[in-house]
Structure 1
Amino acid sequence: METRLTELSSNYDHLEKKTIEEITADINHENISVPMAINKALPQINTLITEILSRLKLGGRLFYCGCGTGGRLATLDTIEVQNTFGTDGRQIQAIFPGGIKDLTQTRESREDDLDNGWQQLVERGATDDDIVVGFSASGTTPFVLSTLKWCRSHGIVTGCVVNNVDSVISHEVDFPVEVITGPEFVTGSTRMKGGTSQKLVLDMISTTLMIQLGRVEGNKMVNVKLMNAKLMDRAARIFMERNPHINDYDYVVSLLKKYGGIKQAEHYLKSLSD
């Protein structure tokens, strides 16, 4: 039976005897190792992002596939990308056991469902223009592994982000990413370092893609959705920084409300001067 580093016994013991201060210090010490593990995996991450980008530029889509912590984090990323970068939710999607409706449920038995992931992809019309990336700390999750196998059998390019070396999922995909985070503070609890690493990699993937696809200018989220007062205020300040000749905040807010965003309001002003 293969050795899973994520399942090895914790480097700490007698946790129930530790003080609050000791527990938080030890958890933080373990967390510090996560960025270093990601740093070692950057070449793999860069290769995966390059492949995803090439497919998105040609009209393909990115599907994340995961269960438990990884699946929930991946789903969260697809939602936040829409708000931050003004996308419509089609370009980056998530496949979660039972569907997104089960996201807040603790139905972890669905991790053993070998058909549901592929069924969801079929329902969304997945083709060989798309790419499917699986998230699995162990690198063995049946739901993820089976979905990726189905994809490969239908000529769909695949990738993965796992936390073990030479896992079965890594060997099944075209573009594996292995972030080796080692034993967890609580033995086997991959919601900790494993989950943290997956969140950081998801941030890297989606942010890099959006920058490369022109959804960021300078260092500003110029396509942010105006969904609440905080985002409206942010958009107004970005607009005024980009257009310093306009310093009437209320006027800018009215423009943004009328035209629906920074770029749209700027296009309107440009049309006036043409």
Structure 2
Amino acid sequence: MQIGKQRTATSRISTVSADRVEVRGRDLCRDLMGRLTFTEYFHLLATGREPTEDQRYFLDLLLIAIAEHGMMPTVQAARMTLAADPGSLQGALAAGLLGCGPVLVGTAELCGALLAKAEARIAGGENADAVVRALVKDIREAGGRLPGFGHPVHRPVDPRAERILELADERGVSGTHVALARLMRTIAAEVWGKPLVMNVSMPIAAVLLDLGFLVTMIKAVPLLARAGGILAHLTEERANPIGFAMASAAEAAVIYRDDEKEGGG
């Protein structure tokens, strides 16, 4: 049984022969190794183009900004997985990355989609203030969370977000999407009736879009970054195991209830 539309299968990323590895039309050993940084190579792999200086600078900056943020649930899952199976570094890494969704780490993708939606309507002739206000109000009235806003620790500002915006302004890359992110912060405070913290996910999405990255690529940046952070924690876990201590603390923190004894249904 054939599933989906049938077509000739092609890939433009890489091919290998006995004496050559070709990546995006370039000789890996003779042209790329020793010349590109990993950040530049990632951009080439993902887009087919070597980055401009600004694209390289900010991709590097954003990878650093989001790589590590303490004992997040993604890190806890990875460390406890390695504690249970010390030989499965890849499994522990996968366990951590599986938790990178729309609540933690993966929020930048939602921010990018929201900014792109706003920009498309504005490009069609609608007023920027009215568009952003309508989008924010729709989310508020539906009882949803505004992507890129709010943080349990960083208040009143997320220092990472502010630094990204500062450097984007300094280097002259702040464009339509950064302006929309700032407008969204202003309007969100009015709609919610209080200031909301713009967290790191919104500037990540805004700067990437202003630099020409596709919305579909945005989530790849925090995923790649967190892979590095998780691997650092797993390296430490092997030298200084705390996975089982975290598991014990989690068990101790949860109270068991017997519904039958307490009259529950």
TM-score, normalization by structure 2: 0.32
Scaled by the length of structure 1, what TM-score is found? 0.32
Structure with higher strand content: 1
